[in-house]
């Protein structure tokens, strides 16, 4: 039971981080120049089963064993820049084009909704697990 | 001897037993039935109820579609009949002790 | 308490607890690209073992198997997983309650009606 609660808690953690990265992408939609001089690179959180933990419990092959999830990495999305013609922009090049991050606002919003739903699902699962845990403690409490 | 007859008549038609429904398939305790018959009929009733409750629990464990209220109802019936049997046993023991303490 | 009933209940509780863990994992991995959801089965083997006695029941092991692939769309069904979680928790509570009631009856006998 406490394992199940730890698993759901790890899910909360992962979705929270995913949400942070999405928020960062959206905030930097029009960041044409970062400290390195390049436009902002949109990022993605990659998540998966915490392999070290799960493998320690069972050596089975293709079937996923129960265990917590974790952030495997935060990677830059492929497909770099979109170019917009705006000579008045201070970061415009000699040809008048500005390099901006290729972030699709619609997909970011979609992923945000999906992430938020997943977060809530983990929260609900946690409540269910807590309730199951406390029902086990009622054994023997006679009327 | 009159004391034993008194106990006999008191226990022959215990009203509480009737609230649980018919105890067994055995014939209704008549004033002429022996004390031992009444007791064993009562115990058989308790046994039956316990067996029914156990059977219901087993069915529920294996089949999710069994209505839970049937199981809890059977369990409560079994428990009440056990409690009643314990009460009867207690009274019998008290009566026996009283008997034994009489100077004859 | 009958040993077969006690064995059936405790084995069911074990299987249900594992089912909750696997369901929690499926929900937590809803956005993990390479993860395949799994499920726990034990009811059928338990039913088969019930006829054979407490030892057969004790040897039943709940199994984790990969969920069959949907005919179209591989989106994780978190809604169904939540339903499974709730059903599992409900069934677990019910079995705990029944176990408690059976203990109650034994306790009544031990106390002699006091």
Which residue in chain C has the smallest CA separation from B65? Answer: C91
Dump pLDDT digits (tens) for C46-83: 999 988 888 888 899 999 988 877 767 678 889 999 99
Please report the residues numbered 32 through 61 in chain B whose beta carbons come closer than 8 angstroms to any beta carbon of chain C. 50, 53-54, 57-58, 60-61
Please report the residues numbered 71 through 100 in chain A whose beta carbons come closer than 8 angstroms to any beta carbon of chain C. none
Alpha-carbon gap, residue C40 to C29, rounded angstroms = 16
Alpha-carbon gap, residue B103 to A70, rounded angstroms = 84
The number of C-beta contacts closer than 8 angstroms across B and C is: 62
Considering only CB atoms, which chain C residues are within 8 Å of B76? 101
From B104's Cα to the closest Cα of chain C, the distance in A is 30
Q: What was the ipTM of the complex prediction?
A: 0.88
pLDDT of residue B16: 47
Dump pLDDT digits (tens) for B66-103: 999 999 999 999 999 999 999 988 898 899 899 899 87
Mean pLDDT of chain A: 87
pLDDT for residue A81 is more than 60? yes
Picking from A5, A7, A6, A22, the residue whose alpha carbon sits closest to that of residue A114 is: A22
pLDDT for residue B6 is more than 50? yes
- Cβ–Cβ gap C38/A64 under 8 Å: yes
Instruction: Identify the weakest region by mean pLDDT among A16-30, B90-104, C14-28.
Output: B90-104
Alpha-carbon gap, residue A49 to A7, rounded angstroms = 10
Map C39-92 to HEC letters: EEECHHHHHHHHCCCHHHHHCCCCEEEECCCCCCCCCCCHHHHHHHHHHHHHHH
R_g of chain C, CA atoms, integer Å: 18
Picking from A47, A44, A52, A40, the residue whose alpha carbon sits closest to that of residue A22 is: A44
From A56's Cα to the closest Cα of chain C, the distance in A is 16
pLDDT for residue A26 is more than 80? yes
- Cβ–Cβ gap A47/C29 under 8 Å: yes
The answer to whether A100 and A30 have CB atoms below 8 angstroms apart is yes
The answer to whether A1 and C13 have CB atoms below 8 angstroms apart is no
């Amino acid at each position: 039971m406490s394992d199940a609660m730890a698993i759901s808690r790890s899910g909360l953690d992962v979705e929270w981080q995913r949400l942070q990265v999405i928020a960062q992408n959206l905030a930097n939609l029009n960041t044409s120049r970062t400290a390195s001089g390049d436009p902002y690179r949109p990022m993605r959180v990659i998540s998966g089963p915490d392999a070290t933990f799960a493998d320690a419990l069972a050596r089975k092959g293709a079937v996923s064993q129960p265990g917590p999830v974790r952030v495997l990495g935060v990677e830059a999305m492929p497909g770099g820049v979109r170019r917009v013609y705006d000579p008045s922009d201070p970061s415009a090049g000699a040809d008048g084009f500005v390099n901006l991050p290729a972030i699709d606002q619609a997909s970011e919003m979609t992923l945000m909704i999906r992430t938020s739903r997943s977060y809530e699902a983990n929260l609900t699962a946690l409540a269910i697990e807590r309730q199951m845990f406390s029902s086990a403690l009622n054994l023997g409490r006679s009327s | 001897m009159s004391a034993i007859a008194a106990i006999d008549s008191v226990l022959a038609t215990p009203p509480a037993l009737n609230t649980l429904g018919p105890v067994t398939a055995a014939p209704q305790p008549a004033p002429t039935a022996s004390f031992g018959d009444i007791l064993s009929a009562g115990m058989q009733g308790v046994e039956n109820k316990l067996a029914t409750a156990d059977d219901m629990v087993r069915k529920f464990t294996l089949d999710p579609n069994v209505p839970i209220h049937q199981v809890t109802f059977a369990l409560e019936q079994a428990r009440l009949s056990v409690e009643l049997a314990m009460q009867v046993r207690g009274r019998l023991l008290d009566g026996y002790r009283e008997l034994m303490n009489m100077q004859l | 308490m009958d040993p077969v009933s006690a064995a059936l209940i405790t084995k069911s509780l074990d299987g249900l607890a594992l089912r909750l863990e696997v369901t929690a994992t499926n929900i937590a991995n809803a956005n993990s690209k390479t993860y395949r959801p799994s499920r726990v089965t034990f009811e059928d083997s338990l039913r088969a073992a019930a006829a054979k006695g407490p030892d057969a029941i004790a040897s039943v092991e709940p199994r984790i198997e990969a969920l069959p692939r949907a005919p179209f769309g591989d989106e994780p069904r978190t809604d169904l997983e939540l339903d499974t979680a709730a059903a599992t928790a409900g069934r677990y509570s019910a079995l705990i309650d029944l176990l408690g009631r059976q203990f109650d009856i034994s306790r009544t006998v031990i106390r002699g009606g006091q």
